[in-house]
Amino acid sequence: MVHCHILLVCFPAQGHINPSLQFAKRLLQLGAKVTFSTSVSAIRRMSQVASTIPDLTLAPFSDGYDDGWTSAPDVQAFMLSIKTFGSEALTNLIMANENEGHPFTHMVYSTLVSWAGEVANQLQIPSTLLWNQPATVFYIYYLYFNKNEIFTGENNEIIELPGVPLVLSSSDLPSIMQPSSPAVYSFALTAFKEHFEILDRAGTKQKVLVNTYDALEFQALMGIKKYDVMGIGPLVPSAFLDGKDPSDTSFGGDLIQKTVDYIDWLNSKDKSSVIYLAFGSYFKFSEQQMEEIAKGLIRSQKPFLWVTRADNTLDYMKEVEKQGLIVQWCSQLEVLSNPSVGCFMTHCGWNSCIESLANGVPVVAFPQWTDQLTNAKLIQDFWKTGLRLAAADGGIVTAEEIARCLEIIMGGGDRGEDIRKQAQHWKILAKDAVKEATDMFP
């Protein structure tokens, strides 16, 4: 790895930045030179990265929205813009490094920047996809795009994945594959299809790196013979996993900074007594759903730490704040590793899933879209580390349902005890999975 110069290209969203930066640290530890490239707006907000990963070279590029991609008129316009601007910027960066005598020897690109892989193909640079959703979801997309498997999403049909001991209903598939998916999200299905097309155009059997581990998804990792699919996770800072590097306490790329000191508050609570709630950086609940969540928390009579957007709060929440703490941002790993936390209510983004597994924290699953639906199925029925909330007519999850699931997981019954034991089981296996990533690149 001494002579490797790796260009790591990442989509400018927190769920992509975190695992990409953690992977960059591993490459640096192996002796590679690493250049990390994402949008100008993201690099500007990542105030910790220079001090957290001092040996990492940053190469920001304009995506056409230097004030942040949420300022785009619509997500499809942004995806076209980042592809157009990003492809040109990466081409120029690669050519400049070549002309200066320190060329890139390999490119790694994250989910949703498939165009980076195409740039690598055109410039004849070996490349690798870093997939930041579960291997099971990668397998589902592979079957959908490559094997002419038809998932109609009709009548909640039963779907069996060849070689994988997991039976899905059509409602467990990624939402963008379902007929009810809003047209605005069609860009995502297109982007995932492009991933497979670009892997195929690269010619030889391509390596795909997945933020998972063998014990967690062995059958899905082994299910695709066309590519060399490898679990390299959990991509979690060492201090929260194997402890080999106690100084590795954060990803280093937080786009939002802490405004409230929540650690002292957590430390004041009894062991496994706190409910932690976080639903990602971008999703916004309806006012009705926010009120049901608040009422469910009140019914639980448990202290809670709730991370929510500033524009996703209600006057009603002033009442529920008497029971817990509401913040706009926190270090999720700091929270999940705190002994006071007994349950994690999450949207089931893959980073949240893998971090809860690595810390042995049971889950109340509240999925919203894309891979989150499949992730919630895995949590409840395959890994058995949590419960999925059931929506009532109209799609709203009621306070009664929220309180019911919280009581099972936080209470003293047999089912809750089984879930907590399973969470600890996967935590042990996550630590066992951490190993040196050798011979990853030529």
User: Would you say 234 and 430 are in contact if contact means Cβ atoms under 8 Å apart?
Assistant: yes
Amino acid residing at 62: S
Question: From CA 390, how far away is CA 380, in angstroms rounded?
Answer: 12
Query: Measuring CA to CA, which residue among 245, 217, 247, 253 is closest to residue 24?
Result: 253
- Confirm whether 195 is a catalytic residue: no
| Amino acid of residue 351 | N
Instruction: Round to whole Å and give the CA distance between 255 and 251.
Output: 11
Residue 70: DSSP 8-state:
G
280/307 Cα distance (integer angstroms) = 9
CA 146 distance to own-chain centroid: 24
Distance CA 355, CA 234 (A): 8
The torsion angles phi and psi of 145, rounded to 5 degrees, stand at: -95, -25
Contact indicator for 378, 137 with CB cutoff of 8 Å: no
- Beta-bridge mates of residue 193: none
Determine the Cα–Cα distance for residues 32 and 217; give it in Å rounded to an integer.
28
Both tokens of 17, joined, read 């930045």
Do the beta carbons of residue 386 and residue 378 sit within 8 Å?
no
Catalytic residue among 3, 5, 16, 106: 16
Give the up-direction half-sphere exposure of residue 417: CA atoms within 13 A in the CB hemisphere: 3
Amino acid letter, residue 262: Y
Can you tell me the distance from the alpha carbon of 142 to that of 135, in angstroms, rounded to the nearest whole number? 10
- Segment (H or E) for 182: none
Long-range contacts of 246-249 (CB under 8 A, 24+ apart): 248/25
Concatenating the DSSP letter of every residue in 373-434 gives: HHHHHIIIIIS--EEEPPP-TTSPPPHHHHHHHHHHHHSSSHHHHHHHHHHHHHHHHHHHH-
Give me the active site residues, please.
16
